Structure 1
Amino acid sequence: MEDVFLAVIGAGQAGLATARAANRRGVRPLVLEAAEEPGGSWSHYYDSLTLFSPARFSSLPGHALPGDPERYPRRDEVVSYLREYASRVDADLRYGWRVEGVEHDGEEFVLTTGDGNRVRAAAVVAATGGFTRPHRPALAGLDGFTGTVLHAAEYRSPASFTGQRVVVVGGGNSGVQIAAELAGVARVSLATRSPVAWANQRPLGRDIHWWFTRSGLDAAPLRRVWEKGPTLVNDDGRYRAAFASGNPDRREMFTLLDGDKVIWADGSTDKADTLVLATGYRPALDYLAPTGALDTAGCPLHRGGISTTVPGLGYVGLEFQRSFSSATLRGVGRDARHVMRRLLSREGRHGSAVAGRARGENRPG
């Protein structure tokens, strides 16, 4: 069994930011990634995905996205950027190592991969984020719907939807972007429980993320405020114009799916060919279940990314981990620094046990 000090699970944006934060504290981590390359979920998003934040506000610590800092990068630019970033961090990066189980005896962790590899570690950071487990909501009649159902995670391009009647469920940025794109080849409705809340992407000539960072809101713990308010969709005017054209249109959430029919809240009925569920994701942390780190819903028990139940365990990349930007390219670095500081020092509730084994690099077995 291999013996290391710090193991990071996941080599997406959260895992890479964590590796760099560990480097800054003199630790060379072992990073285990299930895929065959770094980048996490980015390469699996739809082809036309465009960030809603400029490159200036879409980078990890220590290395900016190249090119015009005011542009809005596309998916493939981010994928290339994360590959380059991985080559810059000082870490033992292992691809094709899917962690399927983690055990903890009170002092150390044992991680087991799908291939039967076992690693013992003093500290673990779960950086698999919240975008690898698509959420499929309990919609009335969904299981009996006879058309095609796919999650936004499975959507790639509009090419195969030509001439269809499509209903996109979910009024966030992705739902709006996908609905507007599909409307070029199909008849599309966006089904939401409340009207779309548009946010001006460039108020007073500055991107909204500039205002967030200048005001301090970007790092503020605003989860309760954010969840009570409407889901905001950043828009420079193009998406509002698309919906104003009538295709796509926005409809109040349907009440029932009956075969291939959608029963709308006003009692009208439509035949639908495809449902696209832009309904978000849930943390993919099942491998931690044996440790007692999760609640009954499978969500991590933590405070600011530090486990409240398991000594030496941290998280990076969780939605609203410490702020509303926690699960973003611009936010994970800040959280990674916080988690590394707490795990690798005596500050945290469980810090002393981990600090006692802090080394300049992981130790070979």
Structure 2
Amino acid sequence: MNLQTNVLIIGAGHMGLVLGSRLKFLNIDYLILDKHKHVGDQWRKRYQGLTLFTPNKLNRLPGFYIPHSQGDYLTKDEFADYLSEFALHHQLAIKTNCHVLRVTHDGINEFSVFTEHGVIKAKQIVLATGAFNTPVKLSNRDTQFLQLDLEQLQKMDFKNKQILVVGDGASGRQIAKKLNDKNKIYLAQGKERNLFPEHILGIKTFSLLKWFGLLRLPKSFKIAQFLKSRDPFPDTDINNKVLLALGVDLKSRVVSVGDECITFDNGEKLAPDILISAIGYKDGFRFIDIPQLYKDNNEFDISAAEMMGIFQIGRPWQHNRASGLICGAEFEVENVLEKLNRS
């Protein structure tokens, strides 16, 4: 496979698909690459029991129908199917099962994108891999207990195990609750978490945030900075009181991982059967082999990248609270289109 395109989009999540649909409408040559076998697999392969926390009306992709779910919120598989339908509806140019290995630049105006199936030449690149592409592991050392990250929990068919979940964000709490009925669960907590009510006066809180315009406030605004600093997420029956009532044992912050046991900051130790790292994700941009796009501390320099023709989309708080949400796709895509037109 040796192809050439104007705009190469890496990632067939909701942002990449919406951007592709707009480029097709504008008759701009584009191609979407995704490492998974099918559109939506990045959601299908995530942990069992995962649901979105935004109401279905906020998960509507531009120009498409409002997704429906069996429960109050879309499951990961329901949203994966919705993405597949969107791609099929728009007949988007997508190459799946195509893992990007390396990206170089000729120093003038063209990128070479090396994949397992050949090289693709592109004038511009959009990184639409999202915020959830490389799970962070608590430890890389060999231990007597099994260590798993968020990409290794698709089935979660554990039984009669002592499981320590490290990280009490929305994912960690959902996992602890899901596994608790057949196992002994410990949840290690770090900083104080801010959960907001799922409903206010019978209305989904996220719907109210959108209605009052808080999701679209520029990140430079003080109110937006306050929201970002607190990093709240909805309480879908995953607060401490509920977890304790279910029998989940809440632990303090983990300070070290030994060969046989985990040590918490209060000196307590635990030797679990399984350690699940739910401490978040990190950027995985090392496949971009362009040395001048990295700062002295090896941080990816997005400003320098944009000057060369590489753009990001769908990053949390890239412009506002909605930047990383499905309901932010239309704004984020138009923002990228302006940059593509200028470069």
- Shift, 1:70, TM fit: 9.0
For residues 204 and 109 of structure 1, do their structure 2 counterparts lie closer, same or farther at Cα, with a shift above 3 Å needed?
A: same
For residues 220 and 294 of structure 1, do their structure 2 counterparts lie closer, same or farther at Cα, with a shift above 3 Å needed?
A: farther
- Shift, 1:16, TM fit: 0.5
Write out aligned runs for 1:272-311 (5 A). 272-290=272-290, 292-295=292-295, 299-302=299-302, 308=305, 310-311=307-308
- Shift, 1:201, TM fit: 1.1
State the distance in 1 between where 2:333 and 2:70 align. 23
Instruction: Tell me if 1:321 matches 2:310.
Output: no
- Shift, 1:5, TM fit: 1.6
> Which amino acid counterpart does residue 67 of structure 1 have in structure 2?
H
% same residue = 22
Write out aligned runs for 1:19-30 (5 A). 19-30=20-31
> Which amino acid counterpart does residue 143 of structure 1 have in structure 2?
R
Q: Which residue of 1 is the match for residue 103 of structure 2?
A: 102
Q: TM-score, normalised by structure 1?
A: 0.83
Matching residue within 129, 132, 145 for 1:147: 145
State the distance in 2 between where 1:336 and 1:242 align. 39
Q: Residues 93-126 of structure 1, C-alpha deviation per residue, up to 9 Å, x if partnerless?
A: 11222222222223122222122x2222222212
Contact 1:56 1:64 in 2 (8 A): no
Write out aligned runs for 1:128-139 (5 A). 128-137=129-138
- Shift, 1:202, TM fit: 0.9
Contact 2:127 2:311 in 1 (8 A): yes
Contact 2:255 2:265 in 1 (8 A): yes
State the distance in 2 between where 1:130 and 1:237 align. 25
Indicate the SS of the match to 1:331: helix
- Shift, 1:44, TM fit: 1.0
Indicate the SS of the match to 1:288: coil
State the distance in 2 between where 1:86 and 1:58 align. 15
For residues 322 and 312 of structure 1, do their structure 2 counterparts lie closer, same or farther at Cα, with a shift above 3 Å needed?
A: same
> Which amino acid counterpart does residue 270 of structure 2 have in structure 1?
D
> Which amino acid counterpart does residue 282 of structure 2 have in structure 1?
R
RMSD: 2.5
Indicate the SS of the match to 2:182: coil
Contact 2:313 2:332 in 1 (8 A): yes
State the distance in 1 between where 2:310 and 2:258 align. 46
For residues 197 and 97 of structure 1, do their structure 2 counterparts lie closer, same or farther at Cα, with a shift above 3 Å needed?
A: same
Contact 1:198 1:232 in 2 (8 A): yes
Q: TM-score, normalised by structure 2?
A: 0.88
State the distance in 2 between where 1:318 and 1:294 align. 18
- Shift, 1:170, TM fit: 0.8
Indicate the SS of the match to 1:287: coil
- Shift, 1:336, TM fit: 1.6
Q: Which residue of 1 is the match for residue 256 of structure 2?
A: 256
Write out aligned runs for 1:238-257 (5 A). 239-245=239-245, 247-257=247-257
Contact 1:166 1:274 in 2 (8 A): yes
For residues 46 and 69 of structure 1, do their structure 2 counterparts lie closer, same or farther at Cα, with a shift above 3 Å needed?
A: closer
Contact 1:124 1:313 in 2 (8 A): yes
For residues 226 and 268 of structure 1, do their structure 2 counterparts lie closer, same or farther at Cα, with a shift above 3 Å needed?
A: same
For residues 70 and 221 of structure 1, do their structure 2 counterparts lie closer, same or farther at Cα, with a shift above 3 Å needed?
A: farther
State the distance in 2 between where 1:57 and 1:297 align. 38
For residues 94 and 297 of structure 1, do their structure 2 counterparts lie closer, same or farther at Cα, with a shift above 3 Å needed?
A: farther
For residues 106 and 66 of structure 1, do their structure 2 counterparts lie closer, same or farther at Cα, with a shift above 3 Å needed?
A: same
The answer to which of 290-299 and 260-269 deviates more is 290-299
Q: Which residue of 2 is the match for residue 360 of structure 1?
A: none
> Which amino acid counterpart does residue 193 of structure 2 have in structure 1?
V
Indicate the SS of the match to 2:293: coil
Contact 2:69 2:78 in 1 (8 A): no
Q: Which residue of 2 is the match for residue 355 of structure 1?
A: none
For residues 37 and 151 of structure 1, do their structure 2 counterparts lie closer, same or farther at Cα, with a shift above 3 Å needed?
A: same
Instruction: Tell me if 1:190 matches 2:187.
Output: yes
For residues 178 and 68 of structure 1, do their structure 2 counterparts lie closer, same or farther at Cα, with a shift above 3 Å needed?
A: closer
> Which amino acid counterpart does residue 287 of structure 1 have in structure 2?
F
> Which amino acid counterpart does residue 57 of structure 1 have in structure 2?
L
> Which amino acid counterpart does residue 152 of structure 2 have in structure 1?
E
Gaps of 5+ in 1: 352-365
Indicate the SS of the match to 1:56: helix
- Shift, 1:266, TM fit: 2.4
For residues 255 and 120 of structure 1, do their structure 2 counterparts lie closer, same or farther at Cα, with a shift above 3 Å needed?
A: closer
Q: Residues 175-216 of structure 1, C-alpha deviation per residue, up to 9 Å, x if partnerless?
A: 010011111111212112124322111122111211221222
Write out aligned runs for 1:1-365 (5 A). 1-39=2-40, 41-67=42-68, 71-104=72-105, 105-115=107-117, 117-137=118-138, 143-160=141-158, 162-222=159-219, 224-229=225-230, 231-237=231-237, 239-245=239-245, 247-290=247-290, 292-295=292-295, 299-302=299-302, 308=305, 310-344=307-341, 346=342, 351=343
Gaps of 5+ in 2: none
Contact 1:260 1:273 in 2 (8 A): no
